[in-house]
Structure 1
Amino acid sequence: MNKAFVREPDADGRVLCPRCGTLGIAVGTGPLDTHIIESVRSRMPDSAWYCSHAECEVAYFNMFEQIVFVKELRTSVYPYDMNAPICACFGFTWEDVDAESRADTPLRIRELLTKSKSPDARCQLLAVDGQCCIRDVQQLYMKLRGSL
């Protein structure tokens, strides 16, 4: 394809969401196959970037300025839908993290951490960003603990 039609990364190599400017997270075919509805799947053939900004309407985008909107995903996903599981592999939700933040010891988060290191964790396929949820769970936990 002619380079005139390809969006170049910023000088520092970062790729930003064309709608909100959030730093994109590179994803491979696993999350794309899992989450994008079949009728628009061809927009993102091999790889794309994921926009993690909860209020953005864009889920995935690529260097050719093609976009897959949140409404074009097969199911609701976190962070666009706060009721969707944060953990696509084991179904851990915002409510679960909230309950753990109020507990004396975050036993269920520790269990999730152990599970996330097991062969049952299929983050690269099931997670909308292709990454393990533990970082997001821990950040949310710390945020909720701080608000108590």
Structure 2
Amino acid sequence: MNKAFVREPDFDGRANCPRCGALGTEVGSATLDHHLQPSSRPQLGEAAWFCDFARCEVAYFDLFDRLVLVEELQTQVYPKAEEAPICACFGFTLQDIEADVEEGTPTRIRALLAKSKSSEARCSTLAANGRCCIGEVQKLYMRRIAE
């Protein structure tokens, strides 16, 4: 069949990392402006995708397979660096989850949940993936207490 008559699929907003194939999380320009070094920022447009796969060296990429590597970020980000805060807004770390597990009550997680609902939370800019960390924190806590 002639390719002129073959319809390309509609774009559904999803994009996969060109290196590891993981599904990316779309981010806007505010997130990119905050995380990328000034020399790396022109490589991507107004929107890009964050690769959430911890062992992948790609931080951000676009639909044209242009990418920015983790080493080109201004600071370390979770999950690319486990020592980086899970919550970029309030500095919540894996050690905070461990402390809640050891104490047997999610005191720090509850405090983080309350803070995440405040006007001080700027997840769309400060989080590398532009999303609130609460879901990830709860998942990590539940996984840890199940061990």
What residue ranges of structure 2 are gaps of 5+ in the alignment? 1-7
Q: Using a 3 Å threshold, how does the CA distance of structure 1 residues 64 and 72 change in structure 2: closer, same or farther?
A: same
Q: How far does the alpha carbon of each residue in 1:86-112 deviate from its partner, in whole angstroms, 9 at most, with x for none?
A: 000000001111111222221110010
2:135 alignment partner in structure 1: 135
Give the CA deviation at 1:62: 0.2
2:105 aligned with 1:105, yes or no? yes
Q: TM-score, normalised by structure 1?
A: 0.89
* 1-structure distance, mates of 2:9, 2:57: 21
Q: Using a 3 Å threshold, how does the CA distance of structure 1 residues 37 and 9 change in structure 2: closer, same or farther?
A: farther
Q: CA RMSD in A?
A: 1.7
* 2-structure distance, mates of 1:91, 1:130: 15
Letter of the structure 1 residue corresponding to residue 125 of structure 2: L
- 1:107-122 matches, within 5 Å, as 107-122=107-122
1:31 alignment partner in structure 2: 31
1:19 alignment partner in structure 2: 19
Tell whether the 8 Å contact from 1:9 to 1:15 is kept in structure 2 after alignment.
Answer: no
Structure number with larger C-alpha Rg: 2
- 1:1-148 matches, within 5 Å, as 14-147=14-147
Give the CA deviation at 1:14: 2.8
Of all paired residues, the percent bearing the same amino acid is: 54
Q: Using a 3 Å threshold, how does the CA distance of structure 1 residues 111 and 86 change in structure 2: closer, same or farther?
A: same
* 1-structure distance, mates of 2:68, 2:12: 25
Q: How far does the alpha carbon of each residue in 1:119-142 deviate from its partner, in whole angstroms, 9 at most, with x for none?
A: 000001100001000011011101
Give the CA deviation at 1:9: 8.1
* 2-structure distance, mates of 1:82, 1:10: 37
* 1-structure distance, mates of 2:135, 2:9: 26
* 2-structure distance, mates of 1:47, 1:97: 32
* 2-structure distance, mates of 1:126, 1:12: 26
What residue ranges of structure 1 are gaps of 5+ in the alignment? 1-7
